[in-house]
């Protein structure tokens, strides 16, 4: 695939980003487009590696290795190298409903398992993926695909994040009448309010796809909070099947003294408020704002990085990010071999911006928060941290152990909790009488997706727990397939 000697002739090249100092002045996407000549050269780097690992989508050591939606990566890399963009788009859309999303926000486990990556920088798979779908929209190739025949079956999809959108798209393709219910005021779920605009543009990318799906016949109903202002049992009566794609939105909290102080917020509260204000016409009108504040982000991962980047754009006075895990190594450790996801140190876009403004990576590792301290009016003023070391307890489990004489006091007017998620909210599941597993996720077997309630299926984070956008799309497509089989007795969906 690609040019036989391309991986020798061409170096890995990424699109040029807007400079950190420039991009923190607005909420526009920070990536520039790469010229076609360079994209074709990057496609040429895809080796004829014999056994490609990039599209296998396997879990190794609990993490994705390769593409969970099984993108036909070598095929469309080769087509891009040859300048056959429309053919590349056709191959890409066979496995991925929304490459414009994954090409922007997926962490690219495919690149972590690229065979070329054993000895050289891997192929720029994610960049090429985004370029293919963007060209598809630019050239007018992305037309609505309306089913020729309707089955007469009605399906309700609860939640319009990546899993819900994937399920809706596939079920509509099978000819069913699909209604997507979203509790927020705009569709998109995590794509709309959980990921900031500079990483995934809402009007130009997310709503563009929603509008295309509406033209294909999918109905979106917003401000429809099933279990609150929409009765769950009525859906079972009025629809032939229901697909749960509510996500894992129950955030992990911080049980320390001072949690109740003004100025302490969950990450999703903060990110949602910021994006909503931006879309409503005034980014500075967000009710949770970092302007002239000492900001501390507790937790790493993509959500922590997005909080850092948002606070930078809001003009914070200082920024610290606290991570409980130790600093990753510069290169793969001996116990983290290819094709596992490489657990190595890197600066993401938010940390790059903080370093450009304040002089260094804002992260402090192997650290936890002991308490939050406020003033007489109940407003957050500072927090106290302590360094920890991970040691095995009597049961052989790694646990954090506080290190003596390492306490530190940090000024803080705004603390953002980005410590992950515990599972789906339980109200709707109780209303449906759907069984949960030991982790409070909806009980539904992977590959089958059927819950304990006949005609109700579950996909994405509400079933598997907090995970990647590509797993959400994988499960949304799978749940649609099994829902179609339930409704029709057989299915042609992949």
Q: Which domain does 445 fall in, by range?
A: 154-249+422-488
The answer on 292 and 218 residing in a single domain is: no
Better-predicted residue by pLDDT, 48 or 240: 240
Q: What is the pLDDT of residue 492?
A: 97
Residue 1 pLDDT exceeds 70: no
Residues 12 and 131 in one domain: yes
Establish if 146 belongs to a structural domain: no
- This prediction has a pTM of 0.95
Is residue 241's pLDDT more than 80? yes
- Is residue 334, in this structure, part of any structural domain at all? yes
Question: Residue 286: what pLDDT?
Answer: 96
What is the number of other CB atoms lying within 10 angstroms of the CB of residue 446? 11
Residues 30 and 55 in one domain: yes
Q: At 113, which CATH number?
A: 1.10.1060.10
pLDDT of residue 91: 97
Q: At residue 216, does pLDDT exceed 80?
A: yes
Q: Of 111, 138, 165, which closes a domain? A: 138
Looking at the structure, tell me whether residues 90 and 204 fall in a common domain: no
Report helix angle 162-173 to 207-215, nearest 10.
20
My answer on whether 337 and 465 are in the same domain is no
Supply the Cα-derived Rg of the chain in whole angstroms.
23
**CB-based burial of residue 33 (10 Å sphere; 0-12 exposed, 13-18 middle, 19+ buried)?**
middle
The pLDDT score that the predictor gives to residue 64 is 85
**206 plus 281 within the same structural domain:** no
Any idea what the CATH number is for the domain that residue 439 is in?
Answer: 3.50.50.60
**Which of 136-140, 312-316, 395-399, 400-404 is predicted with the least confidence, judged by mean pLDDT?**
395-399
For residues 330-345, average pLDDT: 93
User: Is 494 among the domain residues?
Assistant: no
- The residue from 419, 452, 471 where one domain ends is 419
176 and 104 in a common domain = no
CA dihedral (16, 124, 2, 69) in degrees, to 10, reads: -140
- Does 438 reside within a domain? yes
Residue 197 resides in a domain: yes
The pLDDT score that the predictor gives to residue 450 is: 98
Measured at the CA of 374, the angle between CA 373 and CA 375, to 5 degrees, comes to: 140
The domain boundary residue, chosen from 91, 112, 138: 138
Q: What total number of domains does the chain contain?
A: 3
| 174 domain-assigned | yes
Mean pLDDT for 243-268 is 97
Residues in CB range of 105: below 8 A, 6 or more apart: 195, 199, 200, 302, 469
The whole-number pLDDT of residue 188 equals 98
Of 353, 22, 349, nearest in space to 199 by CA: 349
CA distance 54 to 129: 13
Asked whether the CA dihedral 352, 353, 359, 363 is positive or negative, the reply is negative
Do 404 and 265 share a structural domain?
yes
Token pair in block for residue 346: 């890197």
Q: Is 126 contained in some domain?
A: yes
| Domain shared by 274 and 393, yes or no | yes
Judgement on whether residues 401 and 293 belong to the same structural domain of the protein: yes
Whether residue 396 sits in one domain with residue 320: yes
Task: Provide mean pLDDT across the span 337-357.
Answer: 95
Shared domain for 205 and 94, answered yes or no, is no
What is the mean predicted confidence (pLDDT) over 387-396? 94
DSSP 3-state percent helix, strand, coil across the chain (nearest 5): 35, 20, 45
Give residue-wise pLDDT tens across range 49-76: 989 999 888 888 888 899 999 999 999 9
Q: What's the average model confidence in pLDDT over 326-342?
A: 94
Separation between Cα atoms, residue 154 and residue 171, nearest integer Å: 10
The side-by-side arrangement of strands in the sheet containing 294-298 is 264-266, 414-417, 294-298, 318-322, 363-364
Per-residue model confidence (pLDDT) at position 323:
97
In a domain, 22, yes or no: yes
């Amino acid at each position: 695939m690609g040019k036989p000697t391309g991986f020798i002739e061409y170096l890995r090249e990424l699109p040029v980003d807007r400079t950190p100092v420039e991009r923190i002045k607005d909420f526009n996407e920070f990536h520039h487009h790469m010229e076609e000549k360079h994209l074709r050269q990057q496609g040429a780097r895809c080796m004829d590696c014999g056994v490609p690992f990039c599209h296998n989508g396997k879990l190794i050591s609990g993490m994705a290795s390769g593409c969970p939606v099984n993108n036909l990566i070598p095929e469309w890399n080769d087509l891009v190298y040859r300048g056959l963009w429309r053919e590349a788009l056709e191959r890409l859309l066979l496995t991925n409903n929304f490459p414009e999303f994954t090409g922007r926000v997926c962490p690219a486990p495919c690149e972590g398992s690229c065979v070329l990556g054993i000895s050289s920088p891997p192929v720029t798979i994610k960049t090429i993926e985004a370029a293919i779908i963007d060209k598809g929209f630019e050239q007018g190739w992305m037309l609505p695909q309306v089913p020729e025949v309707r089955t007469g079956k009605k399906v309700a999809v609860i939640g319009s994040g990546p899993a819900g959108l994937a399920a809706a798209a596939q079920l509509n393709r099978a000819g069913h009448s699909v209604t997507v219910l979203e509790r927020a005021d705009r569709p998109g779920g995590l794509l709309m309010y959980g990921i900031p605009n500079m990483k995934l543009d809402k009007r130009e990318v997310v709503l563009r796809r929603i509008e295309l799906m509406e033209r294909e016949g999918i109905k979106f109903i917003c401000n429809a909070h099933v279990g609150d202002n929409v009765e769950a049992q009525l859906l079972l009566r009025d629809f032939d099947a229901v697909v749960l794609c509510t996500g894992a939105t129950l955030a992990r909290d911080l049980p320390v003294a001072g949690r109740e102080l003004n100025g302490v917020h969950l990450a999703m509260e903060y990110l949602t408020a910021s994006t909503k204000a931006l879309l409503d016409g005034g980014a500075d009108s967000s009710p949770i704002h970092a302007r002239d504040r000492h900001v501390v982000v507790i937790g790493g991962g993509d959500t922590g990085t997005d909080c850092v980047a948002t606070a930078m754009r809001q003009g914070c006075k200082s920024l610290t990010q606290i991570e409980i895990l130790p600093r990753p190594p510069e290169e793969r450790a001996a116990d983290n071999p290819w094709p596992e996801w490489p657990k190595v140190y890197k600066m993401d876009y938010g940390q790059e911006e903080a370093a450009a403004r304040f002089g260094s990576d804002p992260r402090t590792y192997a650290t936890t928060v002991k308490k939050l301290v406020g003033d007489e009016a109940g407003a957050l003023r500072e927090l106290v941290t302590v360094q920890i070391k991970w040691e095995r307890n009597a049961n052989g489990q790694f646990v954090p152990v506080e290190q003596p004489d390492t306490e530190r006091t940090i000024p803080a007017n705004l603390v953002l909790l980005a410590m992950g998620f515990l599972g789906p909210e339980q109200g709707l599941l109780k209303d449906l009488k759907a069984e949960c597993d030991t982790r409070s996720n909806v009980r539904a077997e992977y590959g089958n997706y059927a819950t304990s309630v006949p005609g109700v299926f579950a996909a994405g984070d509400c079933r598997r727990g907090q995970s990647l956008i590509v797993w959400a799309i994988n499960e949304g497509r799978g749940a649609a397939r099994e829902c179609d089989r339930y409704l029709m007795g057989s299915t042609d969906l992949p």
